[in-house]
């Protein structure tokens, strides 16, 4: 029988978590009630006490609680709870996890959930689920479930929400993924709306060659998710066509993937193709959300919620320098492909972001910053030309074959 971890601060929300555990039992599953509270005594007897959680994280719980610093307690439990859940998962003791909480409880529980692998059922009922949840979810598949009312007692609304949430995690645990016996090697690819044609065509060539291609949307979270999957060791090669997140990171857009973007493949030592796709644009929200310091720049309204800004010559040069710097330390085979007639749909001649001077600065910076051991392959096409897409796929296949010898 499958077992679901019910994790939460049982000193303030013990009755609520016990209610969820009872609902899980009615669905035919077992539960393990885990206390991560650091205040008063637990309202309901846990299966795993806060002392045991603290022990998993090498915490001195008594000293911590004696200082009565709630922020310090939340931070400490956010480090201990992941260690406990990792151990329970590795020992095969749990098949899913659910938690209920406000700010502190959500921080602790989602930190623990992020320590679990992709595909493992994770559900967080939270007062914060309707806002920006990026820092809670990270790069993992955590389901954020709005609590509607505060997690502060059992009433006609909260009981309905908690009952549905218990049903949801039970359903997730009971939904066994379909198995694929093909065991095809995996390629991770990055894509944006402005590089869709390129990636789809390259994907077709790679699949015909026997690979499974996983496509990630380069929206910040997508880039981080791709890097995380590469770090997990599940990826055999990378088709990083859309490195646009570096434009946002350097210029100040909203879709940055952070300063470690482009590092995972190099550290993993796996074959990679890198293209400066869509680095001619910086992403913002609706037009009136663009910072005033950018007034006077070239903009393109992609849709009412997305405003794109053309990168300047100097910004393009800096992006090229960063790409070259990242690739210079790759431990595995990597090649760079440059589409000299435009790095996005709207960056080709006749389109709003056409700027050959900016593109030239980008390409020159990449060439100048790369060591000679990193091949630079140029094609006199735009990025979405089928000829360029095929060149990307063939270049990656060449690296993969060479790595297998």
pLDDT tens digits, 94-103: 999 999 999 9
Does this chain's domain 3-174 share its CATH topology with 186-404?
yes
Q: DSSP class of residue 117?
A: P
Coil, helix or strand for 209? coil
Residue count (the chain): 405
- Do 324 and 362 touch, CB atoms closer than 8 A? no
Going by pLDDT thresholds of 50, 70 and 90, the confidence category of residue 147 is very high
Average pLDDT over the chain, rounded to an integer: 94
Going by pLDDT thresholds of 50, 70 and 90, the confidence category of residue 62 is confident
Residue 284, burial from CB neighbour count under 10 angstroms (0-12, 13-18, 19+): buried
How many DSSP H helices and E strands does the chain contain?
A: 14, 14
| Block residue for tokens 């303030």 | 12
CB atoms within 10 A of CB 238: 29
In terms of CATH, what superfamily is 3-174? Uncharacterised protein family UPF0261, NN domain (3.40.50.12020)
What strand order describes the sheet that includes 299-303? 281-284, 306-310, 299-303
pLDDT tens digits, 176-234: 877 665 679 999 999 999 999 999 999 999 999 999 999 999 999 899 999 999 998 88
pLDDT tens digits, 11-32: 999 999 999 999 999 999 999 9
In terms of CATH, what superfamily is 186-404? Uncharacterised protein family UPF0261, NC domain (3.40.50.12030)
**Listed residue (149, 138, 55, 145) closest to 99, CA to CA:** 145
Bridge partners (DSSP) of residue 189 are 215, 239
What distance lies between CA 176 and its chain's CA centroid? 23
Residue 60, burial from CB neighbour count under 10 angstroms (0-12, 13-18, 19+): exposed
Residue 241 has pLDDT above 60, yes or no: yes
What distance lies between CA 378 and its chain's CA centroid? 31
Q: Domain spans of the chain?
A: 3-174, 186-404
Residue 405 has pLDDT above 70, yes or no: no
Instruction: For helices 386-404 and 196-208, give the axis angle rounded to 10 degrees.
Output: 40
CA distances to 125, 128, 129, 230, 316 from 103, in Å = 11, 7, 10, 31, 40
């Amino acid at each position: 029988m499958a077992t679901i971890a019910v994790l939460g601060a049982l000193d303030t929300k013990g009755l609520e978590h016990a209610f969820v555990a009872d609902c899980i039992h009615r669905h035919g599953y077992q539960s393990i009630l885990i206390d991560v509270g650091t205040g008063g005594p637990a309202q309901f007897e846990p299966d795993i006490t806060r002392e045991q959680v603290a022990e998993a994280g090498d915490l001195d719980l008594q000293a911590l609680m004696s200082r009565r610093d709630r922020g310090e307690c939340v931070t400490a439990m956010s480090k201990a709870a992941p260690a406990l859940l990792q151990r329970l998962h590795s020992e095969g003791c749990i098949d899913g996890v659910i938690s209920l909480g406000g700010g502190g409880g959500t921080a602790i529980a989602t930190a623990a959930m992020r320590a679990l692998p992709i595909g493992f059922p994770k559900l967080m009922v939270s007062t914060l689920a309707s806002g920006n949840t990026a820092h809670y979810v990270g790069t993992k598949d955590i389901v954020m479930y709005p609590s509607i009312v505060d997690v502060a007692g059992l009433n006609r609304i909260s009981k309905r929400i908690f009952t549905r949430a218990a049903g949801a995690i039970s359903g997730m645990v009971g939904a066994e993924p379909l198995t694929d016996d093909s065991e095809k090697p995996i390629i991770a690819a990055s894509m944006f709306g402005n590089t869709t044609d390129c990636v789809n065509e390259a994907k077709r060539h790679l699949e015909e060659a026997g690979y499974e291609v996983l496509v990630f949307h380069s929206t910040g979270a997508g880039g981080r998710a791709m890097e995380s999957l590469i770090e997990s060791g599940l990826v055999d090669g990378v088709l990083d066509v859309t490195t646009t997140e570096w434009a946002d990171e350097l210029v100040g857009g909203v879709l940055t993937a952070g300063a470690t973007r482009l590092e995972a493949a190099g550290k993993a030592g796996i074959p990679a193709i890198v293209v400066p796709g869509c680095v001619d644009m910086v992403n913002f929200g609706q037009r009136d959300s663009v910072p005033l310091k950018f007034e006077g720049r070239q903009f393109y309204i992609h849709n009412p919620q997305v405003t794109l800004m053309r990168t300047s010559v100097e910004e393009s040069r800096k992006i090229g320098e960063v790409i070259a710097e990242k690739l210079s330390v790759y431990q595995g085979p990597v090649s760079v492909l440059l589409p000299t007639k435009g790095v996005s749909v709207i960056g080709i001649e006749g389109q709003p972001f056409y700027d050959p001077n900016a593109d030239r600065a980008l390409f020159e910076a990449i060439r100048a910053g790369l060591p000679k051991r990193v091949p630079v392959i140029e094609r006199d096409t735009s990025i979405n030309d089928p000829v360029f897409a095929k060149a990307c796929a063939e270049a990656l296949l060449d690296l993969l074959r060479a790595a297998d010898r």
